[in-house]
Amino acid sequence: MTGRSPSTSSDDRARPDVAVVGAGPIGLAVAWRCAARGLRVVVHDPASGSGASAVAAGMLSPVAEAYFGERQLTALLLASAALWPTFAAELTEATGAELGYRTDGTLMVGLTGDDLAEARRLWAYQQELGLPVTPLRPTELRDHEPALAPRVRGGALAPTDHQVDPRLLVPALRTAARRAGAVLVPQPVRHLSEVDARVTVVAAGCGAAALTGLPVRPVKGQILRLRAPGGVAPGFRHVIRGYADGEPVYLVPRADGEVVLGATVEERSDTTVTAGAVQRLLRAGVDLLPELAEYDLVEAVAGLRPGTPDNAPILGPLPGRPDVLAATGHHRHGIVLTPVTADLIAGLVTTGVPDPLLAPFRPDRFDSDAPASVGAAGSGAPAGADRPDSTMEEDRWS
């Protein structure tokens, strides 16, 4: 199908326009956006929301997560973060659900002199990209968050980096997708041949590897959930990210008293919670924010992020399978990338024409004869602008 209207011919009536494999935030948002455009959508997942999103912190941090060598990914993160306010408003309007969307901004900090030196290198890079990063003097840092440990050496503010609660987001997306007409089938898909639809969207996270052969691998993350004692809100309101004696760590405060403290990044595929990881996370968290020592530890859990060779998502048609679109490999960025992924994939399904933003994230970029990978292709230009239109043409399918 290419840019076709919702099917109405009689022999097509039972066949969905779109089958989505995976009912995490990505799959559900794709389903919602497609169904809202009048397409018939079926979503397959035996356990919606049980993947990486159940563990994710929900930071919307394109600025704080702008790392060296990932310019095109950064451009996509920025594009998606820019969509978030409208996306959240529409989702709340469609469902009435509260999403825990907060715009208090992100404080980036360094505990020791070494940590601060490391952090400053990154902030300089982020400022070079023109991103809103404001270094703070120590007194300014305490003005922003008095609860920070006195020994925290320095920090910077990323005021546009926001947060959402993934455990509120996913149920809201389920409701929105259903209300728009999508059908959720709580069955697993073990092979793409089991799915019958004009277009299949594989949004199965780590499960995409077995279904498509794409180089998606599990990247284990251990994460803690604390709770402020006495049922009050945490004693800080910014997302706090930083280095504590070399340990990268983040703290995400929720209005209900929860604090998410994460996360390890491990090349492992188990989901056990280990003593050493919990100890390191707690130590780093308490060093940055001493009041955390008195917080309840309510959850320690591990999840598997869908990682890719260049840390960027895989978006678009499988090589040789124009009817199968990948929307996976979002690694640590699944929540922030949900709106842009949904819009790009829904647009592709509807029009058959890939948005230029998709170009750096094509599934075929890992083939040996394909153009260079995302990381290596970075030239400083906005994502999608550094490849000729002729390449775009090849992405069309019909």
Q: Report which of 146, 319, 322 is spatially closest to residue 237, judged by C-alpha positions.
A: 146
Q: In terms of DSSP H, where are the helices of 129-214?
A: 138-144, 166-179, 208-212
Query: Which among 132, 150, 131 has a CA at the least distance from the CA of 141?
Result: 150
- How far apart CA 213 and CA 297 sit, in angstroms, is 39
Interaction between residue 283 and a copy of itself (CB under 8 A): yes
Nearest Cα to Cα of residue 94 among 19, 182, 160? 182
- CA geometry: angle 333, 334, 340, nearest 5 deg: 95
Between 210 and 293, name the residue whose CB sits nearer to a copy of itself: 293
Q: Which residues contact 195 (CB under 8 A, 6 or more apart)?
A: 19, 21, 44, 189
**Shorter beta-carbon distance to a copy of itself: residue 297 or 385:** 297
Told to check if 89 binds a copy of itself by CB under 8 A, we report no
DSSP classification of residue 235: S
- Under the binding rule (CB under 8 A), the answer on residue 50 touching a copy of itself is no
* 149 touching a copy of itself, by CB under 8 A: no
Q: Are 22 and 204 in contact (CB under 8 A)?
A: yes
Any idea what the Cα angle at residue 273 is, between residues 267 and 276, rounded to 5°?
80
The tokens of 308 are what?
């890719």
CB 272 → a copy of itself: shortest distance, Å? 4
Q: Which of 273, 356, 382, 392 binds a copy of itself (CB under 8 A)?
A: 273
Least distance CB 295 / a copy of itself (angstroms): 5
Does 224 interact with a copy of itself (rule: CB under 8 A)?
yes
- Contact indicator for 159, 60 with CB cutoff of 8 Å: no
If one asks whether residue 285 binds a copy of itself (CB under 8 A), the answer comes out as yes
In whole angstroms, the minimum distance from the beta carbon of 270 to a copy of itself comes to 9
**Minimal distance, residue 234 CB to a copy of itself, in Å:** 12
Name which of residues 318 to 337 contact a copy of itself (CB under 8 A).
none
Binds a copy of itself (CB under 8 A): choice among 114, 294, 323, 367: 294
Contact call for residue 278 and a copy of itself (CB under 8 A): yes
Span from 110-118, 238-246, 276-284, 342-350 in contact with a copy of itself (CB under 8 A):
276-284
Q: Please give the C-alpha separations between residue 212 and each of 124, 164, 266, 289, 320, in angstroms, as whole numbers.
A: 39, 30, 23, 44, 12
Q: Which two tokens stand for residue 259?
A: 């604090």
Chosen residue from 19, 81, 226, 345 binding a copy of itself by CB under 8 A: 226
CA distance linking residue 8 with residue 375, whole number of Å: 43
Interface with a copy of itself, residue 378, by CB under 8 A? no
Q: Specify the residue, 210 or 298, whose C-beta has the smaller distance to a copy of itself.
A: 298
Contact between 276 and a copy of itself per CB under 8 A:
yes
Site string for a copy of itself, 253-272 (x = CB under 8 A): --------x----------x
295 part of the interface to a copy of itself, by CB under 8 A = yes
Residues binding a copy of itself (CB under 8 A)? 224, 226, 229, 261, 272-276, 278-279, 282-283, 285-286, 292-298, 300
